Amino acid sequence: AQSVTQLDSHVSVSEGTPVLLRCNYSSSYSPSLFWYVQHPNKGLQLLLKYTSAATLVKGINGFEAEFKKSETSFHLTKPSAHMSDAAEYFCVVSDRLSGNTPLVFGKGTRLSVIA
């Protein structure tokens, strides 16, 4: 069985400071890992994905995440927060070797950016 734990339900940072959103996963298989972002009243957009290539994954809008198998973590980071980064972020896991496994979502982390 697969599961995802997002360690913070809400993170607040000042504009221009680093962002860290934490995610731990559990998977019986070789995982694919994703981060999705949802802006208010919008659908979900893929930020980045890990599918077994480089363990440091770069995504859109300056975000990146590092896959650490020993720690079963896939934390999302950004060096400098922008006001437009304020949104809900979801960490997601699936079975990499079988595309026909539904995604399992974390409960989300709401990122607030203070001017």
Partner 1 sequence: DAEITQSPRHKITETGRQVTLACHQTWNHNNMFWYRQDLGHGLRLIHYSYGVQDTNKGEVSDGYSVSRSNTEDLPLTLESAASSQTSVYFCASSAGSSGTRNEQFFGPGTRLTVL
Q: Which residues of the chain form contacts with partner 1 (CB under 8 A)?
A: 32, 34, 36, 42-46, 49, 51-52, 90, 94, 96-103, 105-108
Q: How far is 100 from 61, CA to CA, in rounded Å?
A: 29
Give whichever of 43 and 115 is closer to partner 1, judged by the CB atom.
Answer: 43
- CA-based end-to-end distance of the chain: 41
Give whichever of 24 and 32 is closer to partner 1, judged by the CB atom.
Answer: 32
Tokens of 58: 């770069």
32 with 48: CB under 8 angstroms? Answer: no
Shortest distance (Å) from residue 16 CB to partner 1: 29
Shortest distance (Å) from residue 92 CB to partner 1: 8
